[in-house]
Amino acid sequence: MQQYITRRGDTVNRIAARHGLTPEHVIQGNPWAGRQPYLYPGQILFLPSAPRKRYSVQQGDDAASISALFGVSIEELETLNPGVTSARQCIPGKVLVIPQPLSSGRVAVNSEYGPEDVEEDVRQLTDKFPFLHRDSIGTSVLGKPLHVLRLGSGPRHLHVNAALHANEWLTSPCLMSFIEQYASAYAEGRDWNGHDPSLWYQNWTIWAVPMANPDGVELVQEGVQPGHPYYEALMKWNCGRHSFRHWKANLRGVDLGDQFPAHWEEEVARRRITGPAPRDYSGPAPLSEPEAAALAALAEQYPGEAAVSLHSQGGEIYWNYRGYEPPESKELAARLAAASGYRAVELTGSDAGYKDWFIQRFRKPGFTVELGIGKNPLPLADYEDMALETGWILATILSNFK
């Protein structure tokens, strides 16, 4: 049992992942941690030693088959089990200690994925792939950078953003994962699930904003403490609740999904939310928030052939907006639905969203994709499926060269 003193940004999930534990292990040793919404700097946790997965060698096994079964390297298997690479030591009934599985890429989700994770993954990926370019399209209310990744050299521009709503942060690593997989496949000259990334690169330029609401994401994951510049206001807008897991808005209590100048006044009248709130407050004016204004400015600077805003949850794809959408939108939505297993839905009674504005402003296909099914924030166990579905959807657009 080891002692751990919490620091800013710590959560039960993050501490567990860092020490090779499950969240249940942390809570088992510290029951109070499961009863409060967030950890605070200076709290003391007692952590058990990291449990190791074990395996009893079966008839016909060897080091190579065991490493393949668990997705670990033979070298790591040998380190924890000296002599296992020898047939005389790898015998049926022998119990082996199994190391942590190898990660298939840089982007991984072992706990909450926040602004610092985006920052580090953006840096690592752009260092690894010289043709992947990073920039900032502005800053959040608290001054966090709004990262944008540019991938491709084609004349067609595809705009993609994620985590516009704070408690939908799991969409961020889904987008980052696809960017990494695309870049890796392109660099190695191989296909991506039957698609040719070299054609994507030649025909399209992707502008990917992986976390459009970093302040809100941090608030959902870490809460707010006295001394924070918005502490009193946030507690008031949240009706005194300490948990912000349900929060969709940015740090000023403005729902960025209702911030765009597409029949904005009608959305305000429909919502009837007159001030800052966890969700559905459209703000004092369209594009009043720096995050929404930055997304609009990027699209204006590089007018796109298509746009996708990644949200969660529902397993649905919204493709229309008041008849402003071009004729090809419906057919393309059907393709996206077929690729992902989602439903293409013709939506009414909603305005002021990013895809609404994009369709109305440019008369090009725009899509809101509701990844996954459940209650936000979605569980980490859904990440792999959601990331793959994100890839299928974006690949279908990139492979549409009509």
Residue 360's CB is within 10 A of a number of other CB atoms, namely 19
Q: Residue 25 is which amino acid?
A: H
265 is catalytic: no
Nearest to 398 by CA among 207, 137, 211: 207
How long a stretch of residues is the chain?
402
Six token digits for residue 331: 């057919």
Left if phi > 0, otherwise alpha if psi is -120 to 50, otherwise beta: which for 397? alpha
Please tell me which residue in 291, 370, 384, 389 is annotated as part of the active site.
370
Separation of alpha carbons 139 and 159, rounded Å? 18
Strand ranges (DSSP E) for 264-341? 306-312, 316-318
Contact 100, 152 (CB under 8 A): no
CA distances from 136 to 73, 122, 174, 213 (A): 38, 11, 20, 13
CA atoms within 13 A on the CB side of 395: 24
Write out the catalytic residue numbers.
370
